[in-house]
Amino acid sequence: MLKWDFVYLDEVLHQSQYEVRYHGINNFIGKKIDGYHSDRLVMTSQAAAALQKAEHLLDSMGLGLHIYDTYRPQRAVDHFQSWANNPSDTLTKAIFYPDQKKKDLFHLGYIASRSGHSRGSTIDLTIYALDDGLPIDMGGAYDFFGIISHHGYEAITLEQKANRILLKNIMAQCGFRSYDKEWWHYTLVDEPYPDRYFDFIVESE
């Protein structure tokens, strides 16, 4: 049973897709991440209620939420740190950080020792089209460490820019703030646990 007023997103949202990268190997480490024992995502009930509003707004446009990550245990963040401090492990460099050195990922703002995700009200997501089930084109891949992921990056098409702006506007309307270096990353403005970092395991029940 979940504590601290957290909820399973799949019990709250009805038209969202889930691609839980850290429960598998398609991520910047290339391995399953510590603390993800299930691919069921959880968030605070306040953040989930705000996402319900976003889902409703997008539904009227023939769109839905495609969600990569929400609550992240502190042990997963520690896993990221341990990986970043091992210079010999470059398994996924060509895909996720071809232009960066691992040792620079902290001060560049792509990895942190404390993550907003561990507070339970931060989400990584994009938008998909209801008619074909495919994510729309954001002009850059999720979890890519580089300037193409930044809000305001100019060297993408007008359609890609418009798609990023649509996501940003929808999330802002529903009470989320963006992170300037990651077009997919949003945090509830009025998060209920602004100073608490949780470490409970992500489990199915």
Contact between 5 and 121 under an 8 Å Cβ cutoff? The reply is no
Which H or E run includes 181? none
154 included as an active-site residue: no
Q: Kindly tell me if the per-residue pLDDT of 1 is higher than 80.
A: no
Q: What is the mean pLDDT of residues 108-117?
A: 91
The single residue listed with the structure tokens 């480490």 is 29
How confident is the model at residue 112, as a pLDDT? 86
Read off the pLDDT band of 201 (50, 70, 90).
very high
How confident is the model at residue 130, as a pLDDT? 98
Contact between 190 and 177 under an 8 Å Cβ cutoff? The reply is no
How confident is the model at residue 106, as a pLDDT? 86
Give the integer Cα–Cα distance in Å for 5 and 45: 6
Read off the pLDDT band of 2 (50, 70, 90).
confident
Contact between 78 and 48 under an 8 Å Cβ cutoff? The reply is no
Read off the pLDDT band of 131 (50, 70, 90).
very high
C-alpha distances in angstroms, 80 versus 15, 83, 142?
A: 31, 5, 16
- Token reading at 139: 């002009």
pLDDT over 70 percentage in the chain: 100
Residue 77 or 1, more confident: 77
Instruction: For the chain, give every domain's residue range.
Output: 6-40+57-188
Give the integer Cα–Cα distance in Å for 68 and 126: 8
- Kindly name the residue from 19, 55, 182, 191 that is annotated as catalytic: 182
CATH number of 6-40+57-188: 3.30.1380.10
Percent of the chain as helix, strand, coil, to the nearest 5: 30, 20, 50
Q: Kindly tell me if the per-residue pLDDT of 78 is higher than 90.
A: yes
Q: What is the mean pLDDT of residues 182-200?
A: 97
Of 98, 115, 114, 125, whose CA–CA distance to 186 is shortest?
125
Residues 36-53 have pLDDT tens digits of: 999 999 999 999 999 999
